[in-house]
């Protein structure tokens, strides 16, 4: 995320009920990966993931062992998964910025990518169509390399107006449905707006906030891993 200090309030996507959001997530999570020649991770081997994102992934103002990829890796290992997660988060990055670096941020031999981008686009008021195209192209480019993607979504701040909110919030469920991706609808679920779980800027998760993010996203990540090792 950008170094933004304005107050933000988040909620369920405008134009979508909570039930519709959950249904979209469950459809994306439950639907089998469309056959496209993806190479499965070797059974019993280490699954190599890359977390491609912005400062929410990078661990803004946190030690590296408290950043999302490290905490998620530890949680997965504690549950018996053999996994390594590379931190490819860049503070301030937009979806377009992620597209510009995806080829070198995700090396050959990667088994899967957790894609978390778009928060800075929203904070800057970027046209949602620009964000959508960039994310869509990232997914398509990784698909061409036979690297599956899990999508971590974002909601627009509720003070950005109903039209912007509707267009931005639709990006993630629609891309997940289009590409048959595992979707976690809102990366900051349970953390956004909670002072005790964020840094003083009110935007970035604290170490405790990251722990809650990992706790909540874990089932979706395990579904993603099951696809990779199927």
Q: Does residue 126 fall inside a structural domain? A: yes
Residue 35: active-site member: no
Q: Does residue 2 fall inside a structural domain? A: no
Q: Does residue 25 fall inside a structural domain? A: no
Distance CA 218, CA 224 (A): 10
Distance CA 209, CA 58 (A): 14
Q: What is the pTM of this model?
A: 0.85
Domain that holds residue 60: 35-229
Q: Provide the total of helices (H) and of strands (E) in the chain, helices listed first.
A: 9, 5
- 162 or 10, higher pLDDT: 162
Q: What is the pLDDT of residues 55-89, one digit of tens each?
A: 999 999 999 999 999 999 999 999 999 999 999 99
* Confidence grade of residue 164 (pLDDT, cut at 50, 70, 90): very high
- 30 or 81, higher pLDDT: 81
Domain containing residue 169: CATH number: 3.40.50.1110
Total domain count for the chain? Answer: 1
Which among 91, 93, 204, 206 is annotated as catalytic? Answer: 204
Q: Does residue 119 fall inside a structural domain? A: yes
Q: Does residue 68 fall inside a structural domain? A: yes
Q: Is 179 left (phi over 0), alpha (psi -120 to 50) or beta?
A: alpha
Q: Does residue 223 fall inside a structural domain? A: yes
Res 30: pLDDT: 38
Q: Are 141 and 102 in contact (CB under 8 A)?
A: yes
Residue 204: active-site member: yes
Average pLDDT over all residues of the chain: 87
Which among 54, 55, 179, 206 is annotated as catalytic? Answer: 55
Report which DSSP code applies to 118: -
Q: What is the pLDDT of residues 204-218, one digit of tens each?
A: 999 999 999 999 999
CA proximity to 148, closest of 52, 27, 80, 21: 52
Distance CA 165, CA 159 (A): 9
Q: Does residue 149 fall inside a structural domain? A: yes
* Confidence grade of residue 230 (pLDDT, cut at 50, 70, 90): confident
Q: Which two tokens stand for residue 45?
A: 């081997």
Residue 115: strand pairing partners: 52, 151
Residue 200, Cα to own-chain centre: how many angstroms? 23
Q: Does residue 201 fall inside a structural domain? A: yes
């Amino acid at each position: 995320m950008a170094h933004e200090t304005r107050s933000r309030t988040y909620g369920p996507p405008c134009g979508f009920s909570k039930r519709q959001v959950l249904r979209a997530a469950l459809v994306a999570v439950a639907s089998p990966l469309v056959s496209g020649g993806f190479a499965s991770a070797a059974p019993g081997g280490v699954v190599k993931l890359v977390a491609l994102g912005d400062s929410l992934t990078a661990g803004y103002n946190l030690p590296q062992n408290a950043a999302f990829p490290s905490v998620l890796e530890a949680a997965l290992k504690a549950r018996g998964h053999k996994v390594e997660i590379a931190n490819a988060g860049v503070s301030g990055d937009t979806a377009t910025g992620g597209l510009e670096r995806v080829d070198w941020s995700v090396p050959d031999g990667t088994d899967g990518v957790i894609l978390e981008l778009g928060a800075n686009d929203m904070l800057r008021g970027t046209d949602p169509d620009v964000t959508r195209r960039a994310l869509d192209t990232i997914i398509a480019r990784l698909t061409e390399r036979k690297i599956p993607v899990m999508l971590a979504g974002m909601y627009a701040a509720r003070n950005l107006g109903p039209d912007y909110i509707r267009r931005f919030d639709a990006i993630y469920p629609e891309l997940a449905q289009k590409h048959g991706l595992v979707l976690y609808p809102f990366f900051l679920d349970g953390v956004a707006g909670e002072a005790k779980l964020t840094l003083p800027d009110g935007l970035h998760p604290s170490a405790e906030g990251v722990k809650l993010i990992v706790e909540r996203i874990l089932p979706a990540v395990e579904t993603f891993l099951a696809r990779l090792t199927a």
